[in-house]
Amino acid sequence: MKLLRFGEPGKERPGLLDSQQQIRDLSSVVSDIDGDSLSPDSIARIKACDIATLPVVSNAQRIGACVNRVGKFICIGLNYVDHCEETGQAVPAEPVVFMKATSAITGPNDGVVKPRGSDKLDWEVEMGIVIGREASYVDEADAAEYIAGYCVVHDVSERSFQLERGGQWDKGKGCDTFGPIGPYLVTADELENPLDLGIWLSVNGKMYQNSSTKNMVFGPAKLVSYLSQFMSLQPGDIISTGTPPGVGLGQTPPVYLNVGDKISLGVAGLGEQTQTVLPSP
């Protein structure tokens, strides 16, 4: 299933994308798409409903972030071999972990705001894992049971904040609008192999990132198991699994985003996003 949220910011309702690419209102089945509705029992209840009886929603509706009330927005750095090469860093022996502020989360087609003082605004298309069950000290062999589904994540980054202002990476990762997710959450049962998906991003029509999730250093099961050794994972938590090569920082010379630029990105089977860079208020 493809689960989504539609409506104006702060007023989104739960929905489902049917086989005809129509949005169906799920409000009579679940109150929202969040941790409570992503448990195995809730997913089973949604699957059991008669989709044809659910109200059809205009596709002109704004699409919001596909998961609400995200508790933790966990990111993995340097998780594609060829991205390590373009940044001049060694392939990590263990996952590189950092956090992105949940206040950065926006809808997949909402604008990306260039922060005040930003001069190195960059892009990173990623596949996101959405947790469906509480996970603590999970074995890798069992990790798939804790994944509710997958989605597209845009890990927008400000490189000067991230790399030149001291401390850890979080300052360049957590600005408002730096975390578009969606357009929908694809439940795990619908995705045959999350490690064989095309992943791409273009800016103003020029393709910069074009790879496959098969090039990941650490796959979804490994990441869920690994993270659960250090923190419990709750339903609705998101793990953004890292970006392939082709980021602006890796270009020669580097290329960064400016106000008015249009970004398109997607992951095969998980949908596409489109954003325009907006000035800071």
Q: Is residue 66 part of a domain?
A: no
Calpha distance 90→7 (Å, rounded): 43
Calpha distance 218→213 (Å, rounded): 10
Both 53 and 78 in one domain: the answer is no
Residue 105 sits in a domain whose CATH number is 3.90.850.10
Both 218 and 268 in one domain: the answer is yes
Both 101 and 198 in one domain: the answer is yes
Kindly report, residue by residue over 149-179, the tens digit of the pLDDT: 999 999 999 999 998 887 777 889 999 999 9
Calpha distance 121→228 (Å, rounded): 31
Preceding omega of 254 cis (within 30 degrees of 0): no
Nearest 5°: CA angle at 219, between 2 and 263?
Answer: 55
The total number of residues shown for the chain amounts to: 281
SS3 154: strand
Both 135 and 206 in one domain: the answer is yes
Q: Is residue 197 part of a domain?
A: yes
Strand-pairing partners, residue 185, are 3
Q: Is residue 68 part of a domain?
A: no
Both 95 and 213 in one domain: the answer is yes
Q: How far apart are the first and last CA of the chain?
A: 38
Q: Is residue 65 part of a domain?
A: no
Both 92 and 228 in one domain: the answer is yes
- Spell out, as residue ranges, where the chain has pLDDT lower than 70: none
The sign one gets for the Cα dihedral 57, 60, 61, 67 is: positive
Calpha distance 220→171 (Å, rounded): 26
Please report the pLDDT score of residue 89 as a whole number: 83
Q: Is residue 175 part of a domain?
A: yes
Please report the pLDDT score of residue 105 as a whole number: 98
Both 141 and 219 in one domain: the answer is yes
Both 99 and 50 in one domain: the answer is no
Other CB atoms closer than 10 Å to residue 59's CB: what's the count?
11
Residue range of the domain that includes 236: 73-278
Q: Is residue 180 part of a domain?
A: yes
Both 38 and 116 in one domain: the answer is no
Calpha distance 260→243 (Å, rounded): 23
Other CB atoms closer than 10 Å to residue 36's CB: what's the count?
14
Q: Is residue 62 part of a domain?
A: no
Nearest 5°: CA angle at 79, between 74 and 84?
Answer: 130
**Residue 269: CA count within 13 A, CB half-sphere:** 20
Domain total for the chain? Answer: 2
Q: Is residue 67 part of a domain?
A: no
Both 49 and 161 in one domain: the answer is no
Both 10 and 95 in one domain: the answer is no
Please report the pLDDT score of residue 149 as a whole number: 98
Calpha distance 28→13 (Å, rounded): 10
SS3 213: helix
Residues 6+ apart with CB under 8 A from 194: 127, 150, 213, 219, 220
Calpha distance 190→246 (Å, rounded): 28
Both 25 and 49 in one domain: the answer is yes
